[in-house]
Amino acid sequence: MSLDASLRLELGTLDLWLDLQVEEGSTVAVLGPNGAGKTTLLRALAGLVPIEHGRVVLDDHVLDDTSRGVHVAPEARPLAVVFQDYLLFPHLDALDNVAFGLRCRGVARREARRRAQEWLARVGLRDRGGARPAALSGGQAQRVALARALAVEPRLLLLDEPLSALDYRTRAELRHTLRATLDAFPGIRLLVTHDPLEAMALAARLVILEKGRIVQAGSAAEIAERPRSAYVADLVGVNLFRGHARGDRVALDGGGELTVPDADSGAVLAVVHPRAVALYRRPPEGTPRNVWPAPIVGLDADGPRIRVRCGGTIPIVAEVTRPAMEELRLDQGGEVWVSVKATEIVVYPA
Amino acid sequence: MPRRHGRRPRHAAVPRLAVAFAAVGAALFALPLVGLLWRASGTDVAAALGSPAARSALRLSLICSLAATACSVVLGVPLAWVQARAEFRGRALLRGLTMLPIVLPPVVGGVALLTAFGRRGLLGQWLERAFGVHLPFTTPGAVLAETFVAMPFFVLTVEAALRSVDARLEDAARTLGARPLTVFRRVTLPLIRPSLVAGAALCWARALGEFGATITFAGNFPGRTQTLPLAVYLALESDPNAGIVLSLVLLLLSLAVLVALRRRLGDAL
């Protein structure tokens, strides 16, 4: 039991081309920036956008196979979608929203309503069945949308940014409930989001999607350890450099050079944690192999820690404490000396 | 869920000059009505309305305009649907065609209807030979003429509403297992209901006032094709006072419906 999708489609400026497998009983989160093609991927899987090339197989149902001209209509696919803005039908109350899918599948009205009521109770909205979507809070609407999707007992549940339309507090509350509901759902779960917190809270496996391509997949820890793109490095909060290794030197693609602990060759990625970057007002003396002057271009406060963005040939972020910032008067800008110990740089093949 | 139906945004105040021009515009509409009221005030309203001819015309007008509205709804909903949603060559031409009766002088419309449905008309000859049906100068002919002139108002209103429906709601319905026709019936139609009602009302009001196409295509036969506007026209020559009273009835009837709708439906109209 699994979802096996291999598809390509072009839509406007987006060129979506990927292979994706999701096993039953696991939740996979597709994480990517806006415009990466996440929603288009969901719509393609749901059959709402035709794919140009490829195959989508759910269990043993072939949903799409362009080589044989197979395209199963959205209404005939054994899946359900929780949409980003929930898309509850504004003219129906919560109960009829949840009963909608069952009615479409031929369940008699009374029975459909009875089961819809059960689902509403399961998501904690026993008493809200008579409310129109406009009268529901964001969190309630999200749960009605979830109940509506689950009520048809789909094999595959697709979720598009399930929590991002909610305010911060509701999001934190619902993350837990949603996780529990997803874990109890016996089918295949695929969610797309731009929020790494949402992805990590709800899914064990992450797939990073950028510009229509999968750049990386794995557990959150695996991805954090060896980010493969600037987007991921940014999410994880580390400095990522792309370059070519030659012995213990890495010539960076953007100019400049880093001395690294191990000899290597070929295209590599190098990661430096901001904590491993030291700043000085005067040229430092000592063992660090990587020392260069750089202008300060910005400061971001993150609790007691300050992230100092340095520009120049090798743009890098350093993390310092507030007292250190005050002592060096980093908030006044100007030039600093950046120092990174070679042993603090992690290098791996690009 | 983001609230879309919040309080209306407050607009900036309208400049005085615009208000002045608006007053002139409104007077253009209001003065003729006042004029009619003023002229009718001296006449014997009961006598004018009580005459068999007036009653028959009023009855026929209601029947024909309601029948024309029903025809417009039955044919107009699918037509609007096709125009709003289907992608095909010649859609611009089709949209132009459905709008044509709005800009065409109704008399020309009547003549055109004769060439199509008249006894020697394109379709008319065949209708007569095959079914013995002839439309010109009959009540169904009057309904046809009114439908021809009034249906565009319905189609335009409904088409605009169909375009404004959030297509993602329809997508959501499909992923829940609804076939396209079910989506239309259970999601799309309920969402555009205010516009359906508004379009039907506009269409009915237009049909009620139809004159040119009706008199050209269906003639002016009391009890059969002589609707209220035709009766007004005829009465103006023989009994001007009766004509004025009938005009007033027509005007007030339409005005009442339009005002009531505007209250209930707001922006849909």
Please write the tens of the pLDDT for every residue from B205-261: 999 999 999 999 999 988 899 998 998 888 888 888 888 888 888 888 888 888 887
Alpha helices in chain A (DSSP H): 38-46, 94-104, 109-122, 138-151, 168-184, 196-202, 220-225, 230-236, 322-328
Residues of B in contact with A141 (CB under 8 A): 1
Instruction: Give the count of alpha carbons within 13 A of A141, CB side only.
Output: 25
Which of A263, A272, A245 is closest to A338 using CA atoms? A272
CA nearest B179 in A: which residue? A75
B1 has a pLDDT exceeding 50? no
B171 touches chain A (CB under 8 A): yes
Count of other CB atoms within 10 angstroms of residue B77? 20
Identify the bridge partners of residue B84 per DSSP, sorted by sequence position: none
Chain segment B90-118, per-residue pLDDT in tens: 999 999 999 999 999 999 999 999 999 98
Which residues of chain A have a pLDDT value below 50? none
Under an 8 A CB cutoff, do A101 and B169 touch? no
Tokens, residue A349: 């093949």
Centroid of chain to Cα B55: 22
As a whole number of angstroms, the distance between CA A141 and CA A134 comes to: 9
Q: What angle do CA B106, B109, B114 make, to 5 degrees?
A: 135
Is A153:A184 a contact under the CB 8 Å cutoff?
no
Chain segment B45-76, per-residue pLDDT in tens: 777 777 888 888 989 999 999 999 999 999 99
pLDDT the model gives residue B6: 47
Considering CB atoms only, which of A101, A133, A142 is closest to B176?
A101
Which of A189, A183, A227 is closest to A208 using CA atoms? A227
DSSP secondary structure of B64-132: HHHHHHHHHHHHHHHHHHHHHH---TTHHHHHHHHHHHHHS-HHHHHHHHHHHHSTTSTTHHHHHHHH-
Q: What is the ipTM of this complex?
A: 0.80
Identify the bridge partners of residue A189 per DSSP, sorted by sequence position: A27, A157
pLDDT the model gives residue A177: 84
Phi, psi of A69 (to 5 degrees): 70, 25
pLDDT the model gives residue B3: 45
pLDDT the model gives residue B265: 67
As a whole number of angstroms, the distance between CA B96 and CA A123 comes to: 51
Tokens, residue B247: 């005009």
B150 has a pLDDT exceeding 70? yes
Scanning the structure block, which residue is given the tokens 């516009």?
B195
Under an 8 A CB cutoff, do B174 and A74 touch? yes
Centroid of chain to Cα A56: 22
Q: Tabulate helix, strand, coil % of chain B (nearest 5).
A: 75, 0, 25
As a whole number of angstroms, the distance between CA B267 and CA B248 comes to: 27
Confidence of residue B2 (pLDDT cuts 50, 70, 90): very low
pLDDT the model gives residue A164: 84
CA nearest A87 in B: which residue? B169
Phi, psi of A301 (to 5 degrees): -85, 135
CA A5 to chain B, closest CA, distance in angstroms equals 18
As a whole number of angstroms, the distance between CA B96 and CA A92 comes to: 36
Strands (E), chain A: 2-11, 14-23, 27-31, 53-58, 61-65, 70-71, 79-82, 156-160, 188-193, 205-210, 213-218, 239-252, 257-272, 277-280, 290-302, 305-310, 316-321, 335-340, 345-349
As a whole number of angstroms, the distance between CA A128 and CA A90 comes to: 15
Helix axes B240-265, B52-85, angle to 10 degrees: 40
Scanning the structure block, which residue is given the tokens 């009605």?
A144
As a whole number of angstroms, the distance between CA A132 and CA A94 comes to: 6
Is A306:A225 a contact under the CB 8 Å cutoff?
no
CA B201 to chain A, closest CA, distance in angstroms equals 22
B6 touches chain A (CB under 8 A): no
